[in-house]
Amino acid sequence: MSVRLHDLPAPRTSAGELRHVGVEVELGGLSEDRVAQLVQAHLGGVLGDRTEQGYMVKGTSLGDIEVYLDSRYLAYASTQLEKRVRAIAAAVVPVEIVTGPLLPAAISTLDDLLRMLRAAGATGTKAGIFLGFGVHFNPEVEGTGIGDILPVLTAFALYEDALRAEAHIDLARRALPFVAPYPRALVDALARGGIADMAGLIDLYLRHAPSRNHALDMLALFSHLDPVRVGRVMDLEPISARPTFHYRLPDCRIDEDDWSLALEWNRWILIERIAANPALLERLAVAWLEHRASFTTLRGDWARTSARIVEAAT
């Protein structure tokens, strides 16, 4: 299915540079070797080894692309026993394709690559009950001020339930701890507002959501902005600090004809459009607080309510 890519509502950073996005895709059904070979065949470049296990395809039409088995422990298998464990685990541990920063238009080229991988036998989340394979987008932030970041975080927090319902997130990924929904206490605090500065926002997030395993993981960005503050609460070693939002909600459905990266990217664009509309954001915040004040509403009710509010305004 061909889906037209939507544009970022703010395509340039506050410094006037075009915003970029890094993309990570987890998939099964193919070995690291085969995936790397197909990346090279479709995008060009020179195939070589990574510093760790896996491959680096250097100089493709989309820059350097990494391909590796997505497991920190298994990546360092050295003994014959470890290698055997690694071979067995490869059936459920995804191969990951990781790009560098791309212009969003390049997502269409990645979709072409995924169609080639699908034809070669690549599988996604629904291929097995424990296969919680996902897609991560790392869109560069427009700026690093509170006015650049707080509206996007608030928009996501208020619309997350509707987004999950719309995307039909697979049971395996909902059951595993990789994309846990934001705690209601965090959504409450964001809806109430009154967050004056970045230090207050980071402290609020660390108080209510001190984990990398949320559908919008803010720790990469917050560690970039204030590593000392984040380091008081979190181990910084596994966090890749960078000036991006780390959006990790989408399933990888590479083996489904009606799925594409463009479809998932457009869902992120909706979050940024909500953030860019102060009146809409305020309506959502007021409605959330009313929802929370009622004793007869469920979280599923909020998914429907927030979807109606956004649909009426967009």
Q: What is the DSSP string of 96-125?
A: EEEE--B-GGGHHHHHHHHHHHHHTT-B-G
C-alpha 263/C-alpha 270 separation (Å) is: 11
> The pTM is what?
0.91
Residue identified by tokens 């296969």 is 131
Q: Is residue 293 within 8 Å of residue 169, measured between CB atoms?
A: no
pLDDT (tens place) for every residue of the chain, 314 residues total: 578 999 999 999 999 999 999 999 999 999 999 999 999 999 999 999 887 789 999 999 999 999 998 764 354 445 554 455 455 555 567 899 999 999 999 999 999 999 999 999 999 987 765 567 899 999 999 999 999 999 999 999 999 999 999 988 766 565 566 789 999 999 999 999 999 999 999 999 999 999 999 999 999 999 999 999 999 999 999 999 999 999 999 999 999 999 999 999 999 999 999 999 999 999 999 999 999 998 777 778 999 999 999 999 98
C-alpha 202/C-alpha 197 separation (Å) is: 9
Domain ranges of the chain: 16-140+244-269, 143-243+277-314
- DSSP for residue 145: S
